[in-house]
Every structure is written in C-alpha cells, then in structure tokens.
Amino acid sequence: MVPHSIKGDVVVIGGGPAGMAAALSSWEAGARSVFLLERNEYLGGILPQCIHPGFGLQIWGEELTGPEYAETFIEKLNRTGVEVMTDTTVLELSPERVVKAVNSEGVWELKADSIILSMGCRERTRGMLRIPGHRPAGIFTAGLAQYLVNIAGYLPGEEIVILGSGDIGLIMARRLTLEGARVKMVVEIKNSLSGLVRNYVQCIQDFNIPLLFSHTVTEVRGKERVEAVMISEVDEGGNPLSGSEREVECDTLLLSVGLIPENELSRQAKIPLSPLTGGPWVDEDFSTDLEGFFACGNVVSVFDLVDYVTLVAERAGRAAVFPSSPQKKYILQTGEGVHTVIPQRIREGKDGFLFIRPQKSMRSVTVFLRWEEKIFYEKKISICRPSEMIKLNLSEIPWPQVKGEIKVEIEGTEIRGIS
C-alpha cells in the first residue's frame, strides 16, 4: 500500500479502552470515515495485560477480565467500517487537525473534522520521585512488571518490595505471590490507600502481605541488581522521620506511584491543559477548549475504573460527529476537599456525568455545588476515598439560570488507613 494523505470525519489517537469506545461511538453516530490509530501491534491499550477480573461491573453488571473487556470492543469494531491502524505512531498533531503518523508502510497524513485524543497515561518513574541510591537493574514500574509477567512470561524478580498502593501495585502483589515470588511489603507514603479497597482486600489482605502506611523508600541499594531498599516512616508532609530508617533486602522494587496523562501531542496542537490534571479542560461531551478536538479517558485525568472511561469515551465519540456550540455556561472550580473535577466546563448540564475526586478519605460526606456562595445542590454519601471518584449524573443537578463559576466542595470526617 502506498502511504498517502487522507481526509476523514474522525481520527482517534490511541486504541486503548477510551479510543476503542470513542471510535465505535463515532461510527454508531453515523461517521463513515473513522480512523483509529494505535502504536501497539494490538488494540486494547493496557487491558490485554490486566488478566484479573473486575472490569465491566459498572456498565454491564458483569465481571470481565481485561482481555475480555478489550475483546468485546474489538469484536464490535470488526463489525464496523472503522479503519484500525495498529503499529502506527502519531508523531505530530497540529491545531489545524492534521495528524502525522508513521508505520512500516510509510508516513501518513490525516486531516479530520474532529480529532479525539485518547492517548492514555504513563506511569510515574523513579526519576520523577528522585529516589536516591544506585541505579541497578530490578526497578520496574508496576505496569511494566505486569506486562513482563502476563504477556512476556517472565517474573521481574523473586523478592519484591512495592512502593505505592496504587491499583496496579496491589494487583501485582497478588499476581507475583501466586507466581511464587515473595512480596515482602507494600509501602505507601500517605496515611491512606491509593488504590481501590476491593483490591486491598483481595490482593493484600487475603495474601497476608504487609502494607505500611506513612512509609516510603528512601534509597535503592545494589550496584548491578537491586540488593535492598531503605525504607523509612514519614511525617504528615512525607518527610522521613530520623531514626526510623531500616533496610529491607529484595531484588526488585516495583513502583505504583501514580499515572500521568500523556499530553505531549495535545501540547503540540496547543490545546489548553489544566495544570491540575495535566490533561485538557473538557466539557460534559469531552470537547476540549480547542474546536474540533475531543479528549477522553486517562489522557484527560486518570480514571479509576475502565467502565467510566468507556462511558466518557462514548460521549466524546458522539460529540465528535455532532459537535455542539462551543459556548460553555459554567466553569467548575475545585473547592474545599476536592482534588479534581471532570469535566471542568458545563455547556448545558442536561446529561452526562460529573466525576469528583476527593482529597481525603472521609465518612458522613456531603458534596456541595455553589454558585456565588449559594449552595444549589447537595448530596450525602456515607464514605469517600481519593482512590474512588464520586460519579454524579448531571441531569440530577438543578443548574442555575445564569452563567458563571461554580465551586465543587466536599465536607466530612477524615478517616485514616483502611476503614
């Protein structure tokens, strides 16, 4: 095939759960030239390596594994005319909606009416955390380790310490234990869990793996391969407490310390990004602040459930075919107790979702929406955690008549650890 320039209705960048659902929904909304570009050799993003169950409960009431969840979409895509290009890496994206990509057939230039960004996220690294010490082999991000075990068929090592209680780390603690490796401990710098409680119960508690809150890794030891890590208790500000340092022998350090939306292409296209999430500002249809660009899934902000990613991607896919007026009625601001809100702009507020990530674990929680100091919406929830987004339906909210800024706040009693 001769590489060429293509004009399309919709180009979707990234074929993970967000991109697959978005491409499918654009097709279902009537777009007939839809391109789905994926840099990997297969679709699904991270799903194929997530062989554990738990996917799909929210949207289908059914528990699937990652590969099964991905397969559902791949099968649906196969029944459409969506042009799937795997092994294809997008290198340039212009504000004029021109995508430049390469694959083994050559250089591709695609110009589309709508571009959907679904590049997902990457894992935070040791370098970003600036963990001091040697730089031996044996330090992996949890997702990389998951790939090595579940796809490549190799253990990362045998004596494991996991830093961070993010979901992939918790799941890998179980997976590696089942594989006969010894997971010596999970250490978490905060005083509360970063991942889902169900993952704590099923992956840590059920396997008697020690989880140390308010602890962190302060040094990596070992010149060639990891030989040990130093761990330390930390104060509220995350600073190691002197005298609490001790050595833990291990040959592997896994890092499950957060995910970062991958927005290098968004920056190239000059799409306005939120400094808080690192992703584009979006409205309830996941339209960005730059006309013709949509963004969905973890490229916007890291979602804790793939089900939510699917829900928002479907909205983005539809909106990319029927774009609505760029006028936004309300701007949402994070207030007291709130870490992030997605979306940050509301055009109409008639349908769609509001995802709120709390700053702390709390019980007896109230979520408030304020317009000029006046509370116009309030919802009570028994418990909230930073690891679990609160999902509200926009249609439940009695939006004020007048345009303006709206503050989202959460109140409640703080809880520590897992309770």
Partner 1 sequence: MSEKFDVIVIGGGVVGCAIAWYLAHFDLQILLLEKDLDVCSGVSKANTGIIHSRSYWTPRTLKGELHLRSLPWIEQAEKELDIEFLKTGALTVAFSRSELEFLKTLKRRGKIKGAEILTPQEARTLEPMLSDKIFAAYYDPETRVASPFQLNLALAESAFLNGVRFIFGQEVTGFEKEGNHIRIFTREGEYLSRWVVSSAGLSSSYLAQRSGENIPSLRALRGEYLVLDRECKDLVRHVLYPVPVGETKGILVSPTTDGNILVGPNLEVAEDEDTSTTKEGLKEVEEGGKKLIPFLPVSQTIATFSGLRPTSPDRDFHIFFSSRFPSLLHLVGIESPGLTASFGIAEYTGDLLKERGLKLSEKRDFIFRSSFPVFRKLSWEERKKLIQEDADWGKIVCRCEEVTIAEVKHALLSSPGASTLDGLKRRVRVMMGRCQGGFCGMYLPFLMAETLGLEEREIVKSGKNSFYLGKETKEVRSGAPLY
Residues that bind partner 1 (CB under 8 A): 3, 39, 48, 67, 87, 89, 91, 100, 102-107, 122-123, 125-128, 130, 132-137, 140-141, 143-144, 147-149, 151-158, 179-181, 218-219, 223-225, 251-252, 264, 267
Task: Write down the least CB distance from residue 107 to partner 1, Å.
Answer: 5
Nearer to partner 1, 198 or 267 (CB): 267
Count the Cβ atoms, other than its own, within 10 Å of residue 71. Answer: 16
Task: Write down the least CB distance from residue 133 to partner 1, Å.
Answer: 5
Partners of 185 in the β-ladder: 161
Task: Write down the least CB distance from residue 263 to partner 1, Å.
Answer: 10
Nearer to partner 1, 278 or 337 (CB): 278
Q: What is the DSSP track for 326-372?
A: S--SEEEEE-TTEEEEE-SEES--SSSEEEEEESS-EEEEEEEEEET
Task: Write down the least CB distance from residue 223 to partner 1, Å.
Answer: 7
Burial class of residue 350, CB neighbours in 10 A (0-12, 13-18, 19+): exposed
Nearer to partner 1, 158 or 249 (CB): 158
Task: Write down the least CB distance from residue 339 to partner 1, Å.
Answer: 17
The conformational region for residue 274 under phi > 0 = left, psi -120 to 50 = alpha, else beta, is beta
Q: Could you tell me if 13 and 117 are in contact, meaning their C-beta atoms sit under 8 angstroms apart?
A: yes
Q: Which helix (H) or strand (E) holds 231?
A: strand 228-233
Task: Write down the least CB distance from residue 250 to partner 1, Å.
Answer: 12
Nearer to partner 1, 7 or 225 (CB): 225
Task: Write down the least CB distance from residue 91 to partner 1, Å.
Answer: 6
Nearer to partner 1, 28 or 87 (CB): 87
How far apart, in Å, are the Cα atoms of 93 and each of 111, 197, 265, 398? 10, 39, 6, 38
Q: Which helix (H) or strand (E) holds 162?
A: strand 159-163
Q: Could you tell me if 131 and 217 are in contact, meaning their C-beta atoms sit under 8 angstroms apart?
A: yes
Nearer to partner 1, 251 or 304 (CB): 251
Q: Residue 39's closest CA among 126, 119, 106, 139? A: 119
Nearer to partner 1, 230 or 319 (CB): 230
Classify 151 as helix, strand or coil.
Answer: helix
